Structure 1
């Protein structure tokens, strides 16, 4: 609500409303925690088990570390990326398809508060998934965190970036088929082909150049550096690239929310 002077009575920022929206998004995925938290852990474990059985010790070392140790940060980051994207995209798309998006648009939220609320839920899910998988990796594989701060930074930035991309996908999609197409033909291939399972040093020069233009690569590479101390690029370069990508994506989200693009009739 606004006063006669055009200033919202609760101040310049609707802190309570934004926090409530974040809580709603968190409760939405926690209500089905077996699908949103446990399922990613099981999927990550299956990936590692399959690679262990199919390749085993004969694969040798990658960048000076055992292959399974090298693989673990990639699996963790890929899972975080997919879950952060799924949280915002499914939430917004579901609201549009069910026709209750008005319940979110009617309260006195600014565009920035809406974006913050949705992405806050994606960050919470991404961080929780990362913690669960990191604990599993430490207990069963002995893969710890050499530099926890770098892991935290790239998990947070990766969750923000993918939460923003999920918002863009959810705004753009008018039905679940369109959302599935975006996830299957864009997000999943980029996550798989960004150094999750290999060092980009194994790629031809042209593909290495393309990889260095992919923010997903820097997220995975940054988490790998923080967990096992090896990486294909400088974590500072990755920090700059991913931060810039976050600013661009969040800016697009803010703009689309502000004008109601594909949200208002």
Structure 2
């Protein structure tokens, strides 16, 4: 068995065994959908006349997938480094790209299942989300969104030395980003300066592209712009992550 296959298989087994973490990975974002979906059931946004669900569902889904990617990568790298597993891996022929690629594949699998479950629930009659004709384009958007946010997890996991530090840094980043990127509230309801500031956040591009693909609420150009933005963020944070990566807390 190759080192990539071994790391991927062990990572999969670790995720499956942690029932609590696995449950909340899927249940936490769904909770937001249920709460916001029931509160704004049948209501429309005054500025556009469109149902709230067309704003809320794609945005909360993107945030949930992004959250799992960031926290999953950050916690894993921190724990492996703290337990000296990364140092032991480094003594083998396994390279850094192999280590990160194994986590990347797992993140894609988790994100795909999250998106499928979330979309299925959002389409229930009680919520009423309807897929647009461009919904297959959500697949490349999902891949790029996970890639972009995963690189942020690499940076956090390379910097933080304790679970508390990972949680503090990741939450300080992801929670404000959710509100400022339109995951919980339509961007049309935010002040103009905050809408402009959100252009500096990767989740904004993820949300816009996911909305355009899933429900067709935005123009097709939003998918192109969103994907381009996610590629830029992935490259920037990917380079930062490679520069800051540590195999051991001793280094």
Calculate the TM-score normalised by the size of structure 2.
Answer: 0.86
Match of 1:234 among 201, 222, 241: 222
Structure 1 residue runs without a partner (length 5+): 1-14
Question: Equivalent residue for 2:242?
Answer: 254
1:26 aligns with 2:12: yes
Task: Tell which deviates more after alignment, 48-57 or 80-89.
Answer: 48-57
Question: Which of 129, 137, 140 is the matching residue for 2:122?
Answer: 137
Q: 1:34-183 counterparts in 2 under 5 A? A: 35-36=21-22, 38-60=23-45, 63-140=48-125, 141-146=127-132, 147-183=134-170
Deviation of the 1:66 alpha carbon: 1.2
- Classify 1:191/1:261 alpha carbon distance in 2 versus 1 (closer, same or farther; 3 Å): farther
CA offset digits 1:169-224 (Å, max 9, x no partner): 11111112211111121122212321112332333322221112222101011111
Partner Cα separation in structure 2 for residue 115 and residue 34 of structure 1: 24
**Quick one: distance in 1 between partners of 2:242 and 2:223?**
28
- Unpaired runs of 5+ in structure 2? none
Query: 1:59–1:67: 8 Å Cα contact kept in structure 2?
Result: yes
Q: For 1:16-49, what per-residue CA distance to the aligned partner results, in whole angstroms no more than 9, with x for missing partners?
A: 322332333233222235532x434433333233
Which structure has the bigger radius of gyration?
Answer: 1
Q: Secondary structure at the match of 1:234?
A: helix
- Equivalenced residue count is 248
RMSD value over aligned CA atoms? 2.5
Deviation at 1:261, TM superposition (A): 6.5
Instruction: Quote the offset at 1:230 in angstroms.
Output: 1.1
TM-score when scaled to structure 1?
A: 0.82
Q: Which residue of 2 aligns with 1:221?
A: 208
